[in-house]
Amino acid sequence: MKIINFGSINIDHVYSVEHFVKPGETLRSKGYQVFSGGKGANQSFALARAGATVLHAGKIGEDGSWLKEGLSKSGVDTRLIETVRESTGHALIQVNAQGENAIIIHAGANESFTDSDIENVLEHAEAKDWLLLQNEINAIDSILYSCRTRGLQVVFNPAPMSEEVKSYPLEYVDIFIINEVEGEALTGEDDPEKIVLKMQALYPKSKTVLTLGKAGLIYKDHERTVSMKALEVAVVDTTGAGDTFVGYFLAGLMQEKSLEVSLQTGITASAICVGRHGAADSIPTRKEVEEFRL
Ligand code: RIB
């Protein structure tokens, strides 16, 4: 069983700043580094490091070959990452003294998926495979329509949230992984308990994981609700923490670990991630997750 991840691949330009730049301000950065990133790629790294079989479908420009090599070295199947004429997607990331981030993304090659690409990728899908999507590529709605008859487990992490998401055929999603911002946009509720209840009412066949940062998470399906606390750790850089959770949580489910163990493993992996700089580079290995003690 494998997971096919239709996902973004970005070059992350990361600036360490005392505070996020204000309107009209020119701010001197305290440090600058270039990392491998993109929500899609980060989630593929996390899945592979967690031991899942992951096939990444993505688009890069000529400037992004090192990103594909990095994914491949981490065990991701990269045969469906295509090099196109557009430049690789990139992100400008400010990380402040508290380790919080503010991100601008430019989609570049990430928005060059065509209908024939989608069919080509889905030809690699077999019964019982999973399909993972974030919201950093184009054609999400077409992908959802195309996989509805194939019996795949569809997981959607609608990040970063946009107005179009509400028009997607979300009834084909089996598992939503959302944060409070995405939850509020989808449900109109701002209280976490109400968000998961409304998600259940709107999408009764789906499961929802609502991540709450330092407050942990709530999982809800039609039978049960599970709440879990986050781990209290020193924060260096939160970039990629959500992606790390997604990868480790899904790998746990695919490996038929219990829901609770899968959620807890995701929480532990993201706690390690926030203690390190960068996105893909900060995602721990399975060994590091297993050996982690507070
Ligand atoms: O989730 C973190 C990611 O968001 C970064 O790697 C950046 O590329 C943006 O896509």
Query: Is the CB–ligand 1 distance for residue 135 below 6 Å?
Result: no
For residue 16, give the H/E element and its range.
Answer: strand 10-16
- Return contacts of 78-87, CB within 8 angstroms, 24+ apart: 79/55, 80/55, 80/56, 80/120, 80/121, 80/124, 81/9, 81/56, 81/57, 82/58, 82/117, 83/59, 84/59, 84/60, 84/109, 84/112, 85/61, 86/59, 86/61, 86/112, 87/61, 87/62, 87/63
* 243 is annotated as an active-site residue: yes
**Spatial contact of 115 and 42, defined as CB atoms under 8 Å apart:** no
Q: Cβ neighbours of residue 199 under 8 Å, at least 6 residues apart?
A: 176, 178, 183, 186, 187, 206, 208, 210, 220
Q: How much is the mean pLDDT over the chain? A: 97
Over residues 251-258, the mean pLDDT reads: 98
CA of 124 from ligand 1 middle (Å) equals 26
**Cα 236 from chain centre:** 19
Report the nearest-CA residue for atom 6 of ligand 1.
37
pLDDT of amino acid 148: 85
pLDDT of amino acid 149: 85
Give the model's confidence band at 180: pLDDT under 50 very low, under 70 low, under 90 confident, else very high: very high
Q: Please return the burial class of 107, using the count of CB atoms within 10 Å of its CB with bins 0-12, 13-18 and 19+.
A: middle
CA of 63 from ligand 1 middle (Å) equals 17
Give the model's confidence band at 266: pLDDT under 50 very low, under 70 low, under 90 confident, else very high: very high
Give the model's confidence band at 188: pLDDT under 50 very low, under 70 low, under 90 confident, else very high: very high
The torsion defined by the Cα of 246, 121, 57 and 102, in degrees rounded to 10, comes to: -60
Mutate to test the pocket of ligand 1, among 105, 135, 178, 283 (most ligand atoms within 8 A of CB): 105
Hunting for tokens 């360490």 — which residue is that? 16
What is the secondary structure of 158-217 as a DSSP string?
--S--GGGGGS-GGG-SEEEEEHHHHHHHHS--SHHHHHHHHHHHSTT-EEEEE-GGG-E
Which atom of ligand 1 sits closest to the CA of residue 41?
Answer: 6
pLDDT in tens, 65-91: 999 999 999 999 999 999 999 999 999
Give the whole-angstrom CA distance, residue 41 versus residue 57.
9
Residue 264 reports pLDDT greater than 90: yes
Query: Is the CB–ligand 1 distance for residue 155 below 6 Å?
Result: no
Hunting for tokens 């399909």 — which residue is that? 131
CA of 240 from ligand 1 middle (Å) equals 6
Over residues 180-197, the mean pLDDT reads: 98
Residue 198 reports pLDDT greater than 90: yes
Mutate to test the pocket of ligand 1, among 33, 36, 67, 93 (most ligand atoms within 8 A of CB): 93
Give the whole-angstrom CA distance, residue 77 versus residue 55.
5
The span from the first CA to the last CA of the chain, in angstroms, equals 33
Query: Is the CB–ligand 1 distance for residue 10 below 6 Å?
Result: yes
pLDDT in tens, 20-32: 999 999 999 999 9
Determine which one of 12, 129, 237, 243 is catalytic. Answer: 243
Report the nearest-CA residue for atom 7 of ligand 1.
38
Over residues 105-110, the mean pLDDT reads: 98
Beta-strand relationship, 217-220 and 225-228: antiparallel
Residue 100 reports pLDDT greater than 90: yes
Query: Is the CB–ligand 1 distance for residue 103 below 6 Å?
Result: yes
Residue 294 reports pLDDT greater than 90: no
